[in-house]
Amino acid sequence: MSSIISLSVQQLRRAAGLKEKIQSLEKEFARLLGSTVASAASPAPKKKKFKMSAAAKAKISAAAKARWAKIKGSKPAAKPAPKAKGKGKMSAAAKAKLSAKMKALWAARKAAKK
């Protein structure tokens, strides 16, 4: 398959043309002989698609549900999630210090844009 990738466009077109000629010659040959021999290039006959009955689908579904119920029902009760620690509280002095720092930072950025 990798050899096809290395071919040029012109070579691919020539190969496609040759394949068409071969197929037409095979058809003509079969017509002359009066045989119904399928050509080598013809695709294999398709397999019938397997169809499952509604009853079979219901049985499989019921079995799967029973398995899941068995698995889910046998688990021990889930432990409650550990309580999250309370949010850290910032002192008034820390808030003021942070606010002043941010105001200075934004003022510096605004001045740099101008």
Number of structural domains in the chain: 1
- Judge whether 36 lies within some domain: yes
Measured CA distances, 11 to 4, 8, 55, 86 (Å): 9, 5, 55, 74
- Judge whether 13 lies within some domain: yes
- Judge whether 81 lies within some domain: no
Domain containing 18 equals 1-43
Residues in Cβ contact with 33 at an 8 Å cutoff, skipping those fewer than 6 apart: none
Tens-place pLDDT, residues 3-19: 777 778 888 888 889 99
Residue with tokens 């466009």: 9
- Judge whether 67 lies within some domain: no
- Judge whether 105 lies within some domain: no
Residues 41 and 19 sit within 8 Å (Cβ to Cβ): yes
pTM of the model: 0.28
Tens-place pLDDT, residues 25-74: 999 888 888 865 555 556 777 888 888 999 999 999 999 999 999 888 86
CA–CA dist 16, 22 (Å, integer): 10
**What's residue 97's pLDDT?**
96
